[in-house]
């Protein structure tokens, strides 16, 4: 017997419509009591009246019969007028008739429990909801389509074959099966490792697709960092002045370019100072540079060949090219004029530098840290297994392979612990 849960599935606040979802054993009976005329068959919307204690809501209703629903349970959706009060009244009516409020992600968690989705599907849904660029949404859609899930199951199948072969050899040692098995095991593990490494290596691009590129703009005072930020954003975001030390705090702002998100941070001009606030500003500037994916080291002096001290990749930007005249300069750098506003060359260079174009053609990118960490752990276990093949007995090898199989299973959720599953679903919004 499963509780019947109810929640608003669309966003809160003023809107054209709101969708209220109910799922559980009694969902259809409750809906039949409050909505008339009730749809004659499942999966079809019907217009009718939903009676609340305050007013009659002219709405639409659709129901789905278990297991043919998102959650795998009996499910009902009411499509009502938008806004806060209508949805609230409809939810209250469902509660009065025996439903209980859903927790965050509870509909999806029930879908998982009923075998309607695996963890990577669920994480794909979260990524799609959170996506702010089409590339981030595409990464989520790939998860939702189970592209990663299928690849992981394939790798797990190979490992399972390997373990079974090892166990046969262990059970029948007199058959002298051990030697060929060790060689086959090694080969199979190496194949899985190659595929795992290929997947892991897509995570760099996956990060670009999901989060974008963090770019810190640093340099001496007055070189035009804030002007550059404004030009890159196409808005008058930061204060610009000819007074040195205008920018004191870091200022972050994002902009999309060719479907990639660039997260720019403007920073305080770097110089020695006795001013307490400026010292803090410079400290923050350095911190921003050290945590960025790439640093734009800005200068307005064509003879300046200095390098900003950081381990991060950097690009030297000569700004104020409108003042340079025709001096040929700076082959190794980008020459721009923030004043002219045309700074697309910076975005284009960053776009190429991070191979962002490959996102379009990519089939599957690892965008989720949990998946990446499972893969890295499985990789370690398989590398141990290969090592053990030469050093120790087959049972130790088999154990390590089983460990890797288990670790990979955490990705789709077949071997994941309850608390991991709960953590994933709690990230969902209410009503999802
Ligand atoms: N001619 C010309 N002037 C520019 C250009 N970019 C910025 N400036 C001027 O340079 C001065 C400093 O610009 P800001 O953008 O405030 O410089 P900043 O590097 O942010 O300075 P701080 O915040 O003090 O570190 C302003 O007077 C800008 O108008 C440019 O491309 N050409
Ligand atoms: Mg500034």
pTM of the entire predicted model: 0.81
Pocket lining: 97 vs ligand 1, CB cutoff 6 Å:
no
Instruction: Using most ligand atoms within 8 A of CB, pick from 275, 338, 345 the residue to mutate for ligand 1.
Output: 338
The structure tokens 């930007």 sit at: 317
Above 60 in pLDDT, residue 177?
no
Residue 395 — φ and ψ, nearest 5°?
-65, -35
CATH 3.40.50.300 boundaries in the chain:
209-360
> Given this model, what pLDDT does residue 320 score?
94
The two counts, helices (H) then strands (E), for the chain are 15, 13
For 44-88, write each residue's pLDDT tens digit.
999 999 999 999 999 999 999 999 999 999 999 999 999 999 999
Pocket lining: 3 vs ligand 1, CB cutoff 6 Å:
no
CATH 1.20.120.430 boundaries in the chain:
145-202+366-413
Q: How far is the CA of 217 from the centre of ligand 2 (A)?
A: 10
The mean pLDDT value for 181-204 works out to 93
Q: Tokens at residue 185, please?
A: 């095991």
Q: Is 13 left (phi over 0), alpha (psi -120 to 50) or beta?
A: left
Pocket lining: 236 vs ligand 1, CB cutoff 6 Å:
no
Decide: 320 and 300 in contact? Cβ < 8 Å.
yes
The mean pLDDT value for 383-405 works out to 90
Q: How far apart are CA 394 and CA 400, in angstroms?
A: 10
Q: How far is the CA of 211 from the centre of ligand 2 (A)?
A: 25
pLDDT band at 200 (very low <50, low <70, confident <90, very high): very high
Pocket lining: 227 vs ligand 1, CB cutoff 6 Å:
yes
SS3 content of the chain, % helix, strand, coil (to 5): 50, 15, 35
pLDDT band at 173 (very low <50, low <70, confident <90, very high): low
pLDDT band at 181 (very low <50, low <70, confident <90, very high): confident
Pocket lining: 224 vs ligand 1, CB cutoff 6 Å:
yes
Which of 102-111, 126-135, 423-432 shows the lowest per-residue confidence on average (mean pLDDT)? 423-432
Decide: 51 and 87 in contact? Cβ < 8 Å.
no
Above 90 in pLDDT, residue 414?
no
Atom of ligand 1 nearest to the CA of 220: 25
CATH 3.30.1360.120 boundaries in the chain:
5-118
Pocket lining: 223 vs ligand 1, CB cutoff 6 Å:
yes
Task: Tell me the CATH number of domain 5-118, given options 3.90.1200.10, 3.90.1150.10, 3.30.1360.120, 3.30.420.40.
Answer: 3.30.1360.120
Above 90 in pLDDT, residue 92?
yes
Q: How far is the CA of 300 from the centre of ligand 2 (A)?
A: 13
- The answer regarding whether domain 145-202+366-413 maps to CATH 1.20.930.40 reads no
Q: How far is the CA of 319 from the centre of ligand 2 (A)?
A: 13
Q: How far is the CA of 229 from the centre of ligand 2 (A)?
A: 9
The mean pLDDT value for 411-426 works out to 86
Treating both helix axes as pointing N-terminal to C-terminal, what angle do 119-130 and 106-113 enclose, rounded to 10 degrees? Answer: 150
Q: Tokens at residue 282, please?
A: 């410079």
Pocket lining: 126 vs ligand 1, CB cutoff 6 Å:
no
For 311-341, write each residue's pLDDT tens digit.
999 999 999 999 876 665 666 789 999 998 8
Superfamily of domain 209-360: P-loop containing nucleotide triphosphate hydrolases (3.40.50.300)
Q: How far apart are CA 95 and CA 104, in angstroms?
A: 17
Residue whose CA lies nearest to ligand 1 atom number 9: 224
């Amino acid at each position: 017997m499963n509780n019947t849960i109810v929640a608003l599935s669309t966003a809160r606040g003023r809107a054209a419509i709101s969708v209220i979802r109910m799922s559980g054993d009694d969902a259809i009976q409750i809906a039949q009591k409050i909505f008339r005329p009730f749809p004659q068959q499942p999966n079809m919307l019907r217009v009718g009246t939903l009676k609340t204690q305050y007013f009659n809501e002219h709405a639409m209703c659709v129901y789905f019969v278990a297991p043919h629903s998102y959650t795998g349970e009996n499910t009902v959706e009411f499509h009502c007028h938008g806004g806060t009060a209508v949805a609230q009244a409809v939810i209250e009516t469902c509660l009065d008739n025996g439903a209980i409020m859903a927790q965050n992600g509870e509909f999806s968690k029930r879908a998982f429990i009923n075998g309607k989705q695996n963890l990577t599907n669920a994480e794909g849904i979260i990524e799609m909801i959170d996506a702010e660029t089409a590339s981030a949404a595409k990464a989520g859609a790939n998860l939702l389509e189970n592209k990663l899930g299928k690849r992981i199951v394939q790798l797990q199948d190979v490992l399972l074959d390997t373990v079974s072969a090892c166990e046969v050899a262990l059970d029948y040692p007199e058959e002298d099966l051990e030697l060929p098995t060790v060689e086959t095991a090694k080969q199979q593990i190496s194949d899985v490792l190659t595929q795992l490494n290929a997947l892991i290596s897509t995570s760099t691009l996956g990060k670009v697709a999901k989060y974008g590129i963090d770019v810190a703009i640093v340099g001496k005072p007055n070189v035009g960092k804030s002007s550059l930020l404004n030009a890159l954003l196409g808005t008058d975001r930061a204060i610009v002045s000819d007074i040195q030390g205008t920018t004191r705090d870091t200022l972050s702002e994002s902009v999309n370019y060719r479907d990639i998100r660039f997260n720019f941070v403007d920073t305080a001009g770097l110089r020695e100072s006795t001013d307490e606030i400026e010292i803090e500003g410079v400290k923050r500037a350095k911190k921003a540079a050290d945590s960025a994916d790439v640093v734009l080291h800005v200068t307005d002096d064509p003879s300046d060949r200095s390098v900003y001290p950081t381990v991060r990749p950097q690009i030297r930007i000569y700004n104020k090219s409108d003042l340079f005249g025709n001096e040929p300069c700076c082959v190794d750098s980008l020459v721009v004029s923030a004043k002219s506003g045309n700074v697309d060359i910076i975005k284009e260079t960053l776009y190429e530098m991070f191979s962002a174009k490959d996102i379009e053609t990519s089939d599957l990118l690892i965008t989720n840290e949990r998946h990446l960490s499972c893969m890295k752990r499985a990789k370690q276990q398989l590398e141990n297994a290969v090592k053990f093949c030469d050093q120790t007995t087959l049972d130790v090898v088999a154990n390590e392979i089983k460990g890797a199989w288990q670790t990979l299973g955490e990705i789709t959720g077949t071997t994941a612990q309850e608390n991991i599953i709960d953590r994933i679903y709690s990230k969902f919004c209410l009503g999802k």
